[in-house]
A and B are shown apart, each in its own frame.
Chain A
Amino acid sequence: MTEMITVKELNKSFGEVRAVRGISFSVAQGEIFGFLGPNGAGKTTTISMLSGLLRPDSGSITIDGMDMASRGRDIRRIMGVIPQEIALYDELSGRDNLLFWGGLYGLAGGDLRDQVDRALELVELTDRAKDAVRTYSGGMKRRINLCAGLVHSPKIILLDEPTLGIDPQARIRILEVVKGLASEGRTVIYTTHYLEEAEQLCDRIAIIDEGTVHASGTLAELVELVGGKVMVSVTGDFSADEAKQVLGEAEFDHISDGELRVKLLDRDQTGRLLGGLFSAGLHVDGVAIREPSLESVFLQVTGRELRD
């Protein structure tokens, strides 16, 4: 597949804060590439550099064979950016908004009107197109916000948490649209802090935290990183030494007084693990079993849960 986006050793600091630290990745045409990470992880800073809004301190960005540093304007012409916030004019209708944003990308006349109609159909807002955006529901605003980044039919689409704070129905619709865009051969970069979105949508995922990509690959590749094993977390009234003595050869992911995480080949082994603890007279308060998933991968590679 043709490589559409290549990013090498990207760095960006704001004063003393290093927002992005040496990020490198590449995205092929028609691929949905996800950035998964908590708030403040560096996702939006990365998107801003990819969309030409921020100049990196160092590193390079090549998009569709063009270097961002020298051909930023040409790159922006083939790129659609859907920002995290609802960046629309409230007092204008959905249609007028799209006409304005499409016009900025050089569309005009009948071509512009056709593209606007097509984009409105895509997000199922044709019947509300003439209403002022301020009268829309949260989900509708999100959809028209998405639309404004697609009206000029970009080859590359950058979506920065496009489903933030909306109802499940609207979220499903947006995810369907994004999948549809990729199936048309468009390249998508999608940032999110929702694990399930990344799992469902993305062909490949980069786990980002504190400005660094900790791991990247397909979901299967990432799960393989944790050995495809079940993670069992146990909390209770025991010391780390007592637990180690009882569980002996278990594969510990983490162990401390009152808390341990053990990797098991399958969840059926959980009973034997707990039996050992009980028979040693150790007090157990809680047990959590986590199947191999993006969540456990995140925990594994960043050392913390995404919701932290």
Chain B
Amino acid sequence: MANVSGSTYGLTTLSPIIEDNKLNLCHSMQIRWYLSQLPRDHRSPFAQLSSTYLARLVVMDDVVFVGHPACEEHLKSRYLLFETNFDGDLNTYLRRMATEAGEFVNAVWKHCVGFPGTDTVDAFITYMKTCQIETTFFFADVNDQTVESTLNALKTQAALAHFMEKHEGLPPADLQAAFGKFVERLHNAPPLPRGGDESRNIAQERRPHD
């Protein structure tokens, strides 16, 4: 199935945006405004949905005429394009969107035709699947690893580099003992902090990997 690459799922939806000429600020502009205010760090809704690799939202007004010999074409409506890729199956991800990022989802999709809200999760899932189009090609950088296992691997790599530098030149027996402790500490490490800038500011004592 084209929507899946390895263990990564690529979701693309196109949701028609409500047309209402009576509004001062049309729905598509309201979406743009809201999106422009969203935090881009660890407070981003997609940082909360921790299985997300990459996500983007685009407000599409119309097809841009690029000049002759292209012909002039138009969309039937304005659309909200949503693309995301993530670990696991679609139902689980959509359920998490509704339950863990409901405020964000409602604030964006309430401007779209037929959006049922997130109070009834099944209705939301059905709506998103109705808007879904097949994703034939998407970015799946590490498609046999989860976001969490990739982050863990990166942290482990950084921790190992730190360990190597700190213990350079130690006699073999001492090195082995220290390595044993290091591995044990890695095993017992608490879960990784969520992505985003906040992780840089976590106090040293909460960063056993370092």
The finding on whether chains A and B are genuine partners in a shared complex, rather than unrelated, reads no
Residues of A near any B CB (own CB < 8 A): none
